[in-house]
Structure formats: C-alpha cells, structure tokens
Structure 1
Amino acid sequence: MEDSPLFNAGKGAVFTHDGRNELDASIMDGKTRKAGAVAGVTTVKNPINAAIAVMEKSPHVMMVSQGADLFAKEQGLTIVDPSYFRTEYRWQQLQKALEKEQVVLDHDGKTAALFADPMMYDYKYGTVGAVALDQHGNLAAGTSTGGMTNKRYGRVGDSPIIGAGNYADNETVAVSATGSGEMFIRTLTAFNIAAQVKYQKLPLEQAAQNALDEVKAINGSGGVIVLDKSGNYTMSFNSEGMYRGTIGNDGKPLVAIYKD
C-alpha cells in the first residue's frame, strides 16, 4: 500500500507545513514482542521495511529522521529522492490548508472535505495499517503514515509509537490505529485495548469502543483494527468512516467504509 499514491503512506503521503514528506511507520511481533519503528524519514521508499530492519537488525525500537534514513540505506533498502513521494493532489491539499491555516486529518471526511472538492476527496485515502494471524497463532501489527497535512516539521504522531498507534502480543491482541495522533498517544489507545482484554477479559469490540471513548473525551477521533489469536476481530471507529477490510481462512474478503 505504500507504493500506491492513493494512500497517505509512502508515495502519495501528505505534506508538512514546509512542503516536505516526513514518513512514519512501525511494526510489532506478537510472539516475541519485539518492535521496530521509524519517524520523520524522507528518502526510504517503504518506511515499513525500515521499521522491520530496526526490529530485526538493531538493538533499538525506534530511529528517527536522518539517522533512520541512513540506517535504512546501510541495510540495503531502496532509497529514493524525496520528490518520489510527491503527488499533485497532496500538494494542492497543502496549499488549501495553508490558506485556511488548518491541519487536516486524513481519516475525517468532514474535516478533509473542507479542503478538497468532492471528486478529489473520493480519491483520497489515509494512514494504512494491518493486523495478521498466522497458522501458528502468532499475531503481528504494522502501521505506516505520512501524518497530517500541514503538520509542523518534525511532528510525530501515534503510528510509530508502540502502544499508541500499534501493538501486538500473542496473549491478547494485535492493534493498528488511525486518527488524531496526539490523542491516541495521550491515551495509549493500542495498549489500552490489549490491557482491557488481558486484565478485564473484555470482548474485543467493547475494549476497542472503550478506548475510542477515551480518545473522544479529549476531542479526538479515529479508528482501530483489532485481532486476537482465535481469529476474532473488530474494526471500530468514531469518525465519519474508516476504509477497512478483512479476509479469513475461507478466502472471502469483506470491505467497508461507513458503519452500515
């Protein structure tokens, strides 16, 4: 998905206030609880691969900015000129945001629609995330994003923060989140869901809703995808909609945008 200009991750990511693409990504292995993350990278074609490299090839969990770009290059990952990530649609979205002096969330149709005509908005998607379960019962979660249009340079949201926008533990759940990053960080949304499942034995849907209620209580919005080791899942959100999909052992895909 990072290779598709339709999403706010990799190519087609949104622009910062100063007209750059600063990309974040993270991944977590539920079996070992090892994790890797990068933030503010500008030359790594696929930031999620850089996050994997941090997890597998370094003793660290997170690397940022130029250091993360350099590490990715040292690991032999594909490096591109920053112009690779640019799309005209995202550039125009930035210009409209600058005119209105607003920061635009990628998941909220009501907010984003203020800065793009309806036809252009239909073309736009947001942060990408995935949760997965293998045949051995191991969970994993990954999230990748360009953040928010017109964000201040150096701003980091929840996507690369383990426990906020991403989390996986075989004993509980795998979670990937999208939304108001600052609020997801403040409420540790992903870990909050895992903790409720572990300590309160709550069903996934209830745990996810409780976590999103905490986000809403501090004026945040967004959504989560949650999966447990038995294959149970929920895709919950409190925004206007969330592009989402799932596929199980039967090979039948389910995709949706709005609540109904």
Structure 2
Amino acid sequence: MRNKYFDTIFFLASAVLLGACMQQKPVSQAGNYVLVIHGGAGTILKKNMTPEREALVRAGLEAALKKGYGVIQAGGSSLDAVEGAIRILEDDPMFNAGKGAVFTHDGRNELDAAIMDGSTLAAGSVAGVRTIKNPISLARAVMEKSEHVMMAGRGAEQFAAEVGIEIVDTSYFRTEERWQGLRKALAEDSAKSKLDHSYIPPHKLGIVNIDNKFGTVGCVALDKKGNLAAGTSTGGMTNKKYGRIGDAPIIGAGTYANNQTVAVSCTGWGEFYIRNVVAYDLSALMDYKGLTVEEAGKAVIKKVGDLGGDGGLIALDKNGNMAMPFNTEGMYRGAVTKDGKIEILIYKN
C-alpha cells in the first residue's frame, strides 16, 4: 500500500511545479490575439526588481492593454488602439517614453515616435522633439495632416503647435530616477576617459551600472476589420550625444505594419535594428519565405545578436498570431486576446 503522506507531498509538489510553469509561459492562443505591447527590453532580473516596482510596471502594462482592447472592442481602428495604448505608457514614468524619458549627455529629454497604418502603408514619425507631451500623437498627425513621413526637432514642434498637439514645458518630462541615471552614466564616462594606467573600474568607484534596459514602448494591433497598425515611442538611450536618433522613428527599422503580413514594434540597441532593417525584414521573411511570425521574429533577433546588438520586438500577424522574441535578460511585454484574456510577462523564464 502506498504511503498516504507520500501521495499528499507528491500532489503538492506537482501543483507548485505546474503553477510555476503556467506563470513562466503565456497560454497559447494561436490566431486569437488583437493587441500586443512592450515596455522595453534589457537587463531585467527578478533579483533586482522590488515587489513595488514590479507591481507598478505590471499596472502600467495592464492599463495600456485595457485601453487598446477597449478601443478594438468598441469597433475602433487599430490605429486608435495603438495610439491610445502608447499614450498610456508615455504618461507613465515607469517607462522610457514621454514623462520619465531618459536624459541625453547634455541633460535634455529628446523624444522619438512612429506610427504606421497597415491598410495603406501610410506612416508618420517624429525625432528629437522636446516639448511634445505625447509624441505618438504627433507622429500620427504627421501621417494624417502633412505630406511627409518624418519631422524632427523644432520644425516638428512648430507643426505640432499648428495642428493642435499638446505642448508642455521641458520640465514635465523630468524624473529624479532618470536624472540620477544620467549622473551615474556621466561618472562612468569620466572613469573611462582616464588614461589606461589610471583607469579605475566603475564598480570600484561605487558606481552601480545604470538600469541597463531599453525602455522604449510599443504596440501592435489588429482590429475587427482586419487592419493592422504599429507604433513605437522612446526617449532614446541614457547619455546619448550629438542628436543621436535610434530605430524607433525609422519606418522599417523599429516600426512597420502591412495588412498583408504583420505589424512590428522593436526595442533595443537601435543602431543594430537600423542596420538590419529589422521590422521590415520580419515582414519580408513572412512574405517571401513563408515563415510564421514566430519563426521570422526569432530569425531577425538572431541577426541583431549576431552583430552584437541587444533587444527584442513584438509582432502580430494578419491572422492574430503573435510573437515576442528577445535576446536580453527580460522584456516588459503583454498581450490581450479577442475574448479579453490579458497576459503580462517580464522575465526571460
């Protein structure tokens, strides 16, 4: 006869193991997704995350998912869903977009964003703007209210004023956490600039590595009419110099949508995404080689990694299949299905 205590212990252990597995991997809902978001990829480790911070991140992602899903459920367009979800994340200082954007080397916040309509291949983007509360909305205005695709700097801000996009003082974007991140990055820069024989590693100076996470936010959506859309918004990289622009506002590199294939939003080391034309390449692999969205997503992230780049992406195909590949320790990400089931994940496992 089997020992009843052994049976009880075995049952409890199995339940714990099953529960852990269910928390680590989203339930497969092939062909059933309508909206996917990300809040950045990078060195995101459970051991470095306080329960309070994780709760705030999850709350922000959930709010964005609910906003976008609500738009789609009400019969709204994928463009409206993408813009609405990203505006939520731009207004949340937990993410590197809008309020809470990282600082440049010169102590400024410079914002980039892009949006694309998969039904028409129309697109709009802005780069290096400093006074736009919600850059994703300005990117959409560029697409819909101008003859251009990309505007930058003061010209983009002038256009924003003319078309009624909300403008704020530059102080709106500042948060103490991002400011301290810049100070640490500048201290590390100073250490690196010393002569080889006098160089002291940053950790020996008490400098803890800055939040090595690319906090770009993005959203891809599929509406009830079968139209895809993609959007991305970012504050760039801490301590960036010389007016550097990454992949987020570059159509085909960090953002792309095509009703015939897929909608894509990327996050990571932008230079590598630009060189690999990642977002469009994912679409092309599906179109020309017949790869699934999951296969194509893994392939393009591998290319980024092979060149030495880090990051991830979200992709949603025309049939409601999605992928969220990344090659970092974690990526803030989430998805919602047609029936409203929300999935939020942060870590690699």
With normalisation by structure 2, the TM-score equals 0.69
Query: Contact conserved, 2:214 with 2:267, CA < 8 A, in 1?
Result: no
Query: Contact conserved, 2:214 with 2:237, CA < 8 A, in 1?
Result: no
SS of residue matched to 1:199? helix
Of 195, 199, 209 in structure 1, the residue corresponding to residue 288 of structure 2 is: 199
Where relative contact order (Cα < 8 A, 6+ residues apart) is larger, the structure is 2
Deviation, 1:216, is 0.8
Of 104, 109, 123 in structure 2, the residue corresponding to residue 21 of structure 1 is: 109
Q: Give, in whole Å, the separation in 2 of the partners of 1:244 and 1:185.
A: 22
Q: How does 1:170-189 map to 2 (within 5 A)?
A: 170-189=259-278
Higher relative helix content: 2
Q: How many residues align?
A: 245
Query: Contact conserved, 1:16 with 1:153, CA < 8 A, in 2?
Result: no
Amino acid at match of 1:226: A
Aligned position for 2:223? 134
Q: Give, in whole Å, the separation in 1 of the partners of 2:95 and 2:115.
A: 18
Does the alignment pair 1:115 with 2:196? no
Query: Contact conserved, 2:216 with 2:233, CA < 8 A, in 1?
Result: yes
Amino acid at match of 2:182: L
5+ residue gaps, structure 2: 1-88, 191-206
Amino acid at match of 2:286: V
Q: Give the RMSD, CA atoms, in angstroms.
A: 1.5
SS of residue matched to 1:231? coil
Query: Contact conserved, 2:220 with 2:228, CA < 8 A, in 1?
Result: yes
SS of residue matched to 2:335? strand
Q: How does 1:1-260 map to 2 (within 5 A)?
A: 1-101=89-189, 114-115=209-210, 126-260=215-349
Amino acid at match of 2:299: N
SS of residue matched to 1:114? coil
SS of residue matched to 2:233? strand
Q: Give, in whole Å, the separation in 2 of the partners of 1:186 and 1:115.
A: 26
5+ residue gaps, structure 1: 103-111
Deviation digits for residues 87-110 of structure 1 (CA, Å, limit 9, x no counterpart): 0100000000000019xxxxxxxx
Amino acid at match of 2:302: D
Q: 1:39 to 1:254 in 2, by over 3 A?
A: same
Q: Give, in whole Å, the separation in 2 of the partners of 1:101 and 1:217.
A: 26
% same residue = 62
Query: Contact conserved, 2:125 with 2:151, CA < 8 A, in 1?
Result: yes
Q: 1:23 to 1:218 in 2, by over 3 A?
A: same
Query: Contact conserved, 1:29 with 1:35, CA < 8 A, in 2?
Result: yes
Amino acid at match of 2:183: Q
